[in-house]
Amino acid sequence: MSIPPIPSRAEHLAAWRESGGKLCAAFPAQYPKELLWAHGILPVEVWDPPLAATRAPGHLQPYICSVVRQGLELLLAGAGDEMDIILFPHTCDSMQNLASLVGDYLKPKATSLFFYNPKAPFGQPAREFYLDRLFALDRELAGLFGPRPEGALEQALAWSRTLSGLYAKAYDLRAAGGLAVGAAEFYAVLRAGEYLHPTAFIPLLDAWLAQAVGQPSAGERIVLSGVLPGPEDLLESLDALGLVVAHDDLLSMSRRLLYPPPGEGEPLAALTESFLEMPPCSTRGSSLAERLAWLKSLAKLSKARGVVFSVVKFCEPELFDLPELRRGLKEARLPSLLIEVDVNQAAGGQASTRLEAFREMMA
């Protein structure tokens, strides 16, 4: 299976800029990208920029996670100056303070915007608050770039619905054993959505899905949980070892992509309902019971026989949930493996050896 040509991040951003579009560096994890699209802004997500961390350690202690470190490194390398805005959703303590560090002290040319996501449980006050936050962000964007064109938000939601359908199709096919691609290819394609505009990404995803349908390689089926799919060598190891990622519970992937599509009602209210119904997530304050039930349901749905946790070092939201999740999975006769990773650093041979042992244990 060959991956259709995916425009590089640099190419796509340059083309977007040339067409008069605005750019937003969007930090992890959950934010209303539809609002940005509606204002003619392309969100470019900052998860794991491939840079050597040389400047960021002057601002951050060694016990801060590599997602935050790499994000700051990117801004210190001047990327923030190429953006119109930098958006910091409220994800965790470290991301919260990074936002303040950038906004208060480092002050790049781009305007820093902050977006507070309410935390579970999501009662009526959270629903109203999230809607208020959407209105506030809409006003902020209009204040910076002028009012959004009429019908733009409706168009953005239509893209969102299409994308939601394509993501669901990709995940459903994979879970049912109907995708003839490995983890490395699956995530390489889906991660293009972190910077491609829907007008470019929808046809790409559609075309890829059409040719990706088929029998997967034989192997032990697993659910991949954690923050990001990767590092790359970890995905390659999974593929090479015959560990088939049948589903995932990754913060950057299914926890954000498998959202219920926004309905046809008032657009911001529809986005609110979508947000509240997203899958359980450590960063949203979901209970351990919800997360455990979700993980077990993913394993059942995809006939996975084990769970691999690929967790970024120092990631508190994930690390706190792990022991109880693993205990619950064990009770459900689902073995699990924990691999701690740093973004942009190879997982290495040791991880590969442990994955191999894990596969043998499951066999």
Partner 1 sequence: MSLSAKAKLSFMKDLGFPAMLSLQKAMKGKRGPRKANPDFGPPLKCAARLKEIMMRHYYLARFAPGAKPVAWVTSGAPVELLRALDFYTIYPENHGALCGAQKMGPELCQVAEDEGYSADLCSYARVDLGHMLSGKTPAGRLPKPDLLFCSNNICQTVVYWYKVMAHRYGVPLVMFDTPFNYGEIKDDDIDYMKGQIKDMIPVLEKAAGRSFDMERFMAVAELSKSTSELWGLCLETMKAKPAPMTIFDAFVHLAPVVSLRGLPVAREYYEILYAELLERVRAGIGAITNERKRLMWDNIAIWYKVRDFSELFAARGMNFVAATYTNAWAETIQHLDMSRPFESLAKTYSLVILNNNLEHRLNLMAKMVEDYAVDGLVVHSARSCKPYSLGQYDLKRILSERLGIPAVVIEADITDYRYFSEEQALTRLEAFFEALEAA
- Minimum CB distance to partner 1 smaller for 68 or for 228: 68
Closest CA to 312 of 348, 352, 341: 341
Pick from 35, 36, 44, 60: which binds partner 1 (CB under 8 A)? 60
Pick from 4, 21, 40, 103: which binds partner 1 (CB under 8 A)? 103
Pick from 313, 335, 346, 362: which binds partner 1 (CB under 8 A)? 313
Q: Omega into 52 within 30° of 0, i.e. cis? A: no
The residues that bridge with 88 in the sheet, in sequence order, are: 114
Phi, psi dihedral angles at 113 (to 5 degrees): -120, 150
Q: Report if residue 66 touches partner 1, rule: CB under 8 A.
A: no
> What is the nearest approach in angstroms of partner 1 to the Cβ of residue 70?
15
Q: Report if residue 289 touches partner 1, rule: CB under 8 A.
A: yes
Tokens 């699956």 -> residue: 186
Closest CA to 286 of 127, 65, 122: 122
Q: Report if residue 55 touches partner 1, rule: CB under 8 A.
A: no
Please give the Cα distance from 53 to 186 (Å, whole number).
28
Q: Report if residue 132 touches partner 1, rule: CB under 8 A.
A: yes
- Minimum CB distance to partner 1 smaller for 93 or for 266: 93
Pick from 159, 187, 314, 358: which binds partner 1 (CB under 8 A)? 314
CA distances from 331 to 59, 301, 328 (A): 43, 18, 5
Pick from 24, 36, 64, 192: which binds partner 1 (CB under 8 A)? 64
Q: Report if residue 316 touches partner 1, rule: CB under 8 A.
A: yes
Pick from 105, 210, 215, 363: which binds partner 1 (CB under 8 A)? 105
Pick from 133, 174, 247, 296: which binds partner 1 (CB under 8 A)? 133
Per DSSP, the three-state class of 296 is: helix
Sort 266 into a burial class: Cβ within 10 Å, 0-12 / 13-18 / 19+: exposed
- Give, as ranges, the residues between 222 and 281 that touch partner 1 (CB under 8 A): none
Contact 100, 68 (CB under 8 A): no
302: CB partners within 8 A, 6+ apart: 174, 175, 176, 221, 223, 246, 247
**What mask of x and - would describe binding to partner 1 in positions 109 to 128, judged by CB under 8 A?**
-----x-x-xxxx-xxxx-x
Maximum alpha-carbon separation in the chain: 59
Pick from 1, 14, 136, 361: which binds partner 1 (CB under 8 A)? 136
Positions touching partner 1 (CB under 8 A) are 58-61, 63-64, 68, 90, 92-94, 96-101, 103-106, 114, 116, 118-121, 123-126, 128-129, 132-133, 136, 282, 285, 287-289, 313-314, 316-317, 319-324, 326-327
